[in-house]
Structure formats: structure tokens, C-alpha cells
Structure 1
Amino acid sequence: MKEEVKIAIFGLSLNVLENIKQKITSIYADSVELKWANIADPQLDILLVNDMFFGSPTIQSLVNGNRVPYLRLVNDSNKLGKIENDVLYLPLTLSDTIQDWFKQSYKNVPTLQASASTKTEQHKPVNVDYEKVLDEFLSGRNGNVQVFDSKGNIAIVNTNTEQVWMNAERRIAGTDQTINFTYATMQTMQSVTSQQGKDLRTWLWNLLWYSPVLDQDISSDVYFKLNVWPQPEMVQDRQNIFKIAACFERGASIKQVQKKLSLDKDIIERFVSVSLLCKAIVEIQEQDAKLKIADQRPEGSLRGFFGSLRSKLGL
């Protein structure tokens, strides 16, 4: 079996990207299987990144967390073909220095036959603070971002207009703790803006609904009020989701909703967890929970009826 090296290139135009790919391919012998990977690939071997995006949290987690060998790409015709420290100057020419760098980086890659397990262990997916990441999706200051996880690209998001363009090739409905983002290039945005994007909050709610691994532990006695109704895509859960939403719109606790609807506690907890991550629901005080007051009215009316009856009967 051929040895495998995975290389990701990020933040370049298509023309420059293809030119670099062709030249790098010529460096490696036929005994090596060269694969062009996404920056989210947990088994990434080499990273080439436009210097403009090098400071993004996503790239920094790869460089510092996974310790992937990398080069920052900078356009400078006066230094073309040179590597200085961690900077590769473009346009790319195959100097001895460049070929040596790629070959030395390749030598650190274990063969699939001998140590595939070692490679996996060295490049475990990095779990991020996904709550902070999700907050950034709802922050207009980030502009255009590319969302991904350890399984690949998920979507492109315009945080200003709150529009989403999903990756049509992705076959996974949910995500996990590796969800992250980096800033999208102008070319990436141009490839999708001619299409109609989806609503960001609707998309995010559905993405998280299919991501039970992100569910949070929530007390059954805490009260919440729903401010934004979900638009669930899943037909089998839609009726129950709307029933739960109607309860929390008035203000309620998980315990109350479970008692009122006789639903499994897990689905109610997931509803609250997903809604919290989407900023669609907020915690409130018990006295502001209208569902509780509504539930008590029949009991209070019944007590009043029997009290009036006792008075009339002289009891």
C-alpha cells in the first residue's frame, strides 16, 4: 500500500491554487499517494495557508493544537520560491529548498501499513469551545465565515445578513464538539451569493437538533421563556416540537412541560438546550412563568366553587 500524505491549502484563488497543486504533486514519487484535504481533516499532514488568514482561531488551533507542519503563503516577486522561517513566498518555484521542505515534512508521516493507529493518535480532532463558536455565528461583526467540523465543510455563513449556504455534498445532518469556523475568502463567497441563502437561525436550530452530543445538562426546575419559534425540518418531531414551543412561549419549566404534555423528558431537554444555543430562549423567574399560573387557575376556581357552596349550605 502506498504511503499517504494529506495537504490542505487555504485562502487562495483557484488559478493560484491549481498551479501550486501541480508543482507540489511533481515533488513526490509515484510511491506516495498525495491527497488534497480540507483544513478540518483530523489527519492533516501539511498546511499551506494564505498569511491573511493565519491569525484566525481555526488556523491557530491546527498549528498550535495539532502541530501540523505549515507554511504561510505571501506574495512577493522579489523573494519568489524562497522559504524564510515559516513563510513561503509566491509565485511558487520548485527550488531545492522548497523540495527539501516538503520531503522532510513528508518523512514525518507514518505509513498506513506500519502505523496507521499512530497517525490517528497524533492527529485527533480538536474539541473547541463550541458555545463560543456558535455565539460568533450570531455576531454580525464576523462577516463571511466558513463553518466546518472534523467531518468536513458544513456551510458558508454571512453573519451580517444572517444567511447560510449549506454544503450540498455533506451527507451528515448534525455536528459535534469540533464545530468551528474560519473567515471565508471573497472567491468562496462569490461562488454562492448568486443562490438564495437560508435563514441562519432556522438552519442553526435544525443543525443542533441533529447534534445530541452537544446537548447541555439543564435543571428541570429552571424556568424559560421562548422568544423565537423554531421551524423544524424533521417531520416526525415537528408536532411535539410545536407543542413544546407553545408551552415555553408562555414561560415554563421542563418539569411543567413534561407534566402538561406527557412527553419524554429527553425531547423537552433537547428543545431547551438547542434553543439556548440559538439564543431563542431565555431563563426567567418563576413568577414570570405564565404556564404555571394557567395550570393553577382550574384548581383555584374549583376551590372557590366549593368554598361558595359551603357558605351557601352554612358549613
Structure 2
Amino acid sequence: MSKQYINIAIAGLSLSHSEELKNQLRNMIPQDYIIKWITATDPNIDCLFIHETFYETEGIQRIINKKCFPWLKITKHHQQQQLTNNVLNFPVSNHDELTQWLNHHVLNQEQAPEAETVNHIEAHEIDEEYLSEVLNPENHAKLHLFDAYGSIGIAKPDLNTIWIILERKKTGTDSSFSYDLANTDDFMKIYRKEKYILQDWLWNFYWNSPELLKMIAPDDGHFKILSWPKPSDIQNKKLIFQLSAVFIQGAKISKIADHFNISQQLIIRFIATNLAMNNAVKINIWDKHFTPPTPEVQDKKDDQSLIKSFFGKIRKKFGF
């Protein structure tokens, strides 16, 4: 029999408890299978063990409801039954119950063909709701941010704080961007002494992620941003502030592009970044918004400015 892979995620446990559970699972699963320890957001997940504290979080519930795989919620209430109603009492003392559960729910499942696995990865869904969860102030968990290139950092949304992997300090990401509940191993990868304001750092992180932004890029329309960003892009800082001054009032993408002679794709990038940050909303055409003056109105304003300047100089010269 050729060896098969089983992708198992353990989330929310301390490092010691996680290692203890891993050792027990290694002993329960036949050697015909190779265990791969993955994160809860991995699209190839076969089984999840999640601590009860994090089970009700929106991110975990989205994963469980969206994907069909077996899972167990881990508790430490030391009830009489070891395993019941998808709840596993930890530490595991009765290995027979867990072994039976694994045999029935995990080992008997057919492995998906490799081609389907690749398609599943490509279909990894990213939308505004998924991205904005990283900023949800009601989320008290520590989130491990990562992508296909490795760890990015650990965010604490309720404290508006993030710790960054030094190598990812000024980089962006792509469609493989994901997040999961952070564990002790994840914290060992970051430099804890240097932390950033999550809202400010994440705005620049998304701004530097054009492939990611394509997945939420809006069509032409009227948009309004809710607050001013703090860009670190020196080259485009002036432009970002110019767009902020306009879209804080509300404006239409194509009209601003034409009036200020700015690339429409660059404005879409600006709006998409703010949508990812939950810092932009689409407004109706009849809502109050910035409207560039027509050429006739602009010429009239220019003439009035010249006349005012002329009389101002005369008053200054003759002391009127």
C-alpha cells in the first residue's frame, strides 16, 4: 500500500499540549499514513482539533461551515466521557475512543486527487469580509498572518497591534494570504520588542499587494473613505493624500481620474486598499460628493482670481 498523507491542524493549544496531542495521534494513526501538521486555514485540511476558547470565533466557524472535514472541540472540563458530541476531553486518557473516531471519520475518507487539490488552492476565496476580520476590534484572539512565502506576523485586533517578521516588514502578499489562530511556535518567529499599529501597517501592506487587491477591485462608481490613511510609500505619498482629500468627501473614480489626469487603475488600487481595511463605502450618485468644476466654471474662477490679485497689488502699492 502506498503511503497517504493526512493533513491535521491543531489550533489554540499551548506548545506542550499541542506536542502531547501530536505524539498521541502519531501512535494511533497507522504507519501507512504520513501526517502533515498544517494550519486551520490550509485548504487541504483533513481534520481539525480546536480549543473550545477559539471554537466560536467567526474565522473558525467560517472554515468549519464552508469546508467539509471532521473536527473535535478540545475542552479541559474532565468530564466522565472522553469523547462525545465532537468534544474531546483533554488530556486524552482513553485512547480507544479517539482511535475509533479517527478510524471512522478520518482514515476511511477517500483522499482527493492531486489535481483537485491544486484547483482547491487556486480557488482560495478572499473578499472584503475575510480581510476586514483582521481588524475586528471584537476579536480578542491572536492571529497568525501568513502566505505561500511564510509567516508575516501576529496581529492582536482588539489592541490594534501587530508584531512583524523582520523580513516581511515592507513587503506585500498575494492571493495565498491567510490567517489562523497563533500558537507558541508562531510567536517564536517574530521580534516581540518591535510592534506596530495594526491599522496603519496593514493599510500599507495591502497597498503593496496588487495581486491581492485585484480580488476585491471595484468597478467604476462613487466611493467615500471614512478616515485618512498613513502611507509609507514615499513615491506616492503626495498622490495618496490628494486622493484622500477628494474621497473623504465622496467621489466617482473615473471623474477624479479625468479631472486630475491620474491613472484610473491607480485610483482603483487606492479604493481597493481602503475596502480591504473596511475604510471605504460605496455611495449613491445623489449622495453629497466632490464634483470637479466644469471648464467654464474653472475659467471663471481663474479670471476672478486674477482680478482679485490685480486689485490686491494696487491696494498694496498705493496704500489703499
Please tell me the TM-score bracket, short chain as reference. 0.7 to 0.9
Partner Cα distance (2:306, 2:119) in 1: 71
Partner Cα distance (2:272, 2:115) in 1: 35
Sequence identity of aligned pairs in percent? 20
SS of residue in 1 equivalent to 2:204: helix
Q: What is the 5 A alignment of 1:19-34?
A: 19-34=20-35
Q: What is the 5 A alignment of 1:217-228?
A: 217-220=218-221, 222=222, 224=224, 227-228=227-228
Aligned residues of 1:223 and 1:286 also touching (Cα < 8 A): no
Paired residue type of 1:200: L
Partner Cα distance (1:276, 1:259) in 2: 22
1:204 is matched with: 202
SS of residue in 1 equivalent to 2:214: helix
2:141 is matched with: 144
1:57 is matched with: 58
SS of residue in 1 equivalent to 2:155: strand
Structure 1 pair 132–122 and aligned structure 2 pair: CA distance change class (3 A): closer
2:217 is matched with: 216
1:68 is matched with: 69
Aligned residues of 2:223 and 2:280 also touching (Cα < 8 A): no
Paired residue type of 1:131: E
Aligned residues of 1:42 and 1:123 also touching (Cα < 8 A): yes
1:7 is matched with: 8
For the pair 1:257 / 2:256, whether they are aligned, the reply is yes
Q: What is the 5 A alignment of 1:1-315?
A: 2-77=3-78, 79=80, 82-93=82-93, 95-104=95-104, 105-110=106-111, 115-118=113-116, 127=125, 130-146=127-143, 148=145, 151=148, 154-166=152-164, 173-176=172-175, 179=178, 194-209=192-207, 210=209, 211-220=212-221, 222=222, 224=224, 227-233=227-233, 238-240=234-236, 242-250=238-246, 251=249, 252-280=251-279, 289=290, 292=292, 298-301=298-301
Partner Cα distance (2:179, 2:36) in 1: 22
Aligned residues of 2:8 and 2:47 also touching (Cα < 8 A): yes
Paired residue type of 2:141: N
Structure 1 pair 79–261 and aligned structure 2 pair: CA distance change class (3 A): same
Paired residue type of 1:207: F
Partner Cα distance (1:77, 1:31) in 2: 32
Aligned residues of 1:176 and 1:213 also touching (Cα < 8 A): no
Segments of structure 1 that go 5 or more residues without pairing to the other structure are: 308-315
Partner Cα distance (2:254, 2:48) in 1: 49
Partner Cα distance (1:31, 1:68) in 2: 20
Aligned residues of 2:124 and 2:175 also touching (Cα < 8 A): no
| Alignment deviations for residues 279-310 of structure 1 (CA, whole Å, 9 cap, x no partner) | 55567878753x83598765114566999xxx
SS of residue in 2 equivalent to 1:72: strand
| Alignment deviations for residues 24-72 of structure 1 (CA, whole Å, 9 cap, x no partner) | 1122333321111111111111111112222222222333321211112
Partner Cα distance (1:185, 1:168) in 2: 18
Give the TM-score normalised by the residue count of structure 2. Answer: 0.73
SS of residue in 2 equivalent to 1:239: coil
RMSD: 4.1
Segments of structure 2 that go 5 or more residues without pairing to the other structure are: 308-320
Greater mean alpha carbon deviation, residues 167-176 or residues 63-72:
167-176
Aligned residues of 2:28 and 2:99 also touching (Cα < 8 A): yes
1:214, distance to aligned residue in structure 2 (A): 3.0
Aligned residues of 2:74 and 2:87 also touching (Cα < 8 A): yes
Aligned length: 295
Structure 1 pair 306–70 and aligned structure 2 pair: CA distance change class (3 A): closer
Aligned residues of 2:6 and 2:33 also touching (Cα < 8 A): yes
Paired residue type of 1:195: K
Partner Cα distance (1:31, 1:21) in 2: 17
Paired residue type of 1:265: Q
1:310 is matched with: none
1:191, distance to aligned residue in structure 2 (A): 8.6
2:314 is matched with: none
Aligned residues of 1:147 and 1:155 also touching (Cα < 8 A): yes
Partner Cα distance (2:287, 2:299) in 1: 18
Structure 1 pair 24–75 and aligned structure 2 pair: CA distance change class (3 A): same
Paired residue type of 2:206: L
